Amino acid sequence: MSKLLEPYDFCGIKLKNKFIRSATSENLAKSRLPSEQLLNRYEELARGEIGLIITSAMRPDRTWARGPQQKNMVIEHDDSIPAFRELTDRIHSFGSKVAVQFGSFFVYNNEPVAPSAVPYSWIPGVSPRALTVEEIGEIVKIYGAAGERAKKSGFDAVEIHAAHGYPLSRFLSPLFNQRTDEYGGSPENRARILIDIAAEIRERAGNNFPVFVKMGVVDFCEGGLTIEDGVEVAKALSQNGISAIEISAGTPGPEMNALGATDGSKWTEGYLIDYAAAIKTNVEIPIILVGGLRDVNMMEDIVAQGKADLVAMSRPFIIEPQLIKRWMEGDREPSHCISCNGCMDLYMDGEIVECIIE
Ligand SMILES: Cc1cc2nc3c(=O)[nH]c(=O)nc-3n(C[C@H](O)[C@H](O)[C@H](O)COP(=O)(O)O)c2cc1C
């Protein structure tokens, strides 16, 4: 485990090891701010020796978010900074670093919007309208303002959620982005909204503030983003100010999605390894791999073989927040997570996210 436990300079942030908690929604916010229960959850993760904790997806602003979303954190006013400062202070007191994840399902004045008017197959009846260039500019500003508040709240970095079929990942995909302006077409144009958001955040929060992307590198559906095209998009991101990429994949619906094969019988450990390796050989920035990682020996090999620089997990930390500590103490048995996705079902039902097999 030596390689994974070595400190790592992640875009200027000193991580105590190479383990990352991938963003995991918990449905635990109170009036859109961290509740005591939520603070305790993050504190427990930090006590578990995780190098970098990425928060659940947070809306940068309520204007562009779906529904009332009371149970998700929203970093929309300067008034909320002290509440988020409490969150980052608690995490930092245990030596972990914390990145805020920004992501939203674009709904404007109750109207779903997206890069192009391609229906959401996973939300029956939802046909979004294409965003105007002015609206894209507005979204970029909103993310920039939220980035400044994140910096003032003590977050070490921002991760932009551009995976799993949400609007920002739709921009990257030739299937869902059919624009003919500067935000569609070539890989660089499809990546442009993320590049603009990162630039705006840096403009407001400072040049040294890392902004990285959770990128859906392949859509797993007919006509969608292929890994070859995903490599080109990743190159555009890496050459235009994005600090690092967390590799994820999939849109809801098809046989494979971010949680692995939707048919449980086809479960494979580390199902995105080859995609991470394909991106890693083509870009200079740090690559984080997430997706079905359960065995620390396998994670060691991934990093030793140069397929990724860092490893991230979500479901294993729901069943066992202190997993890394256990491994550090010498018990190297793999995570006990069986990927039943009961935690995801709770999330989708608006319930508090927890492990159902404990
Ligand atoms: C309950 C639950 C909530 C999640 N919430 C988020 C989220 O807010 N943002 C995000 O990017 N991914 C989210 N994910 C996806 C995970 O970050 C991760 O990409 C996926 O679960 C695969 O990793 P794993 O096999 O280690 O769980 C969530 C996953 C689960 C199970």
Q: Per-residue confidence of the chain (358 residues) as pLDDT tens digits?
A: 578 999 999 999 999 999 999 999 999 999 899 999 999 999 999 999 999 999 999 988 877 666 556 788 999 899 999 999 999 999 999 999 999 999 877 787 778 899 999 987 777 777 899 999 999 999 999 999 999 999 999 999 999 999 998 889 999 999 999 999 999 999 999 999 999 999 999 999 999 999 999 999 999 888 999 999 999 999 999 999 999 999 999 887 777 788 887 766 666 899 999 999 999 999 999 999 999 999 999 999 999 999 999 999 999 999 999 999 999 999 999 999 999 999 999 998 999 999 999 6
Token code pair at residue 200: 């705006």
d(CA 18, CA 266): 28
**d(CA 182, ligand 1 centre) in Å:** 31
3-state secondary structure 227-268: HHHHHHHHHHHHCCCCCCEEEECCCCCCCEECCEECCHHHCC
* Cα-based distances in Å from 200 to 115, 146, 205: 19, 10, 8
CA angle 36, 42, 44 (to 5 degrees): 100
**Domains in the chain with CATH codes:** 2-348 (3.20.20.70)
Ligand 1 pocket member 21 (CB < 6 A): no
pLDDT (0 to 100) of residue 249:
92
Strands 107-108 and 111-114: antiparallel
SS3 301: helix
- Name 303's Cβ contacts closer than 8 Å, sequence gap at least 6: 3, 4, 18, 309, 310, 311
Residue length of the chain: 358
Q: Which residue has the CA at smallest separation from atom 4 of ligand 1?
A: 24
The pick from 19, 21, 24 for probing ligand 1's pocket by mutation, whose C-beta has the most ligand atoms within 8 angstroms, reads 24
Question: Is 166 a residue of the active site?
Answer: yes
Atom 31, ligand 1: which residue's CA is nearest?
Answer: 344
Q: Residue 25 and residue 253: Cα distance in Å, rounded?
A: 19
Nearest to 358 by CA among 295, 316, 313, 312: 316
Q: How far is the CA of 160 from the centre of ligand 1 (A)?
A: 14
Asked whether 25 lines ligand 1 (CB < 6 A), one says yes
Q: For 232-237, which contacts have Cβ atoms below 8 Å and span 24 or more sequence positions?
A: 232/187, 233/172, 233/187, 233/190, 233/191, 234/279, 234/282, 234/283, 235/187, 235/282, 235/283, 236/187, 236/188, 236/190, 236/191, 236/195, 237/191, 237/194, 237/195, 237/213, 237/283
Residue nearest to atom 6 of ligand 1 (CA): 24
Identified catalytic residue from 8, 120, 166, 275: 166
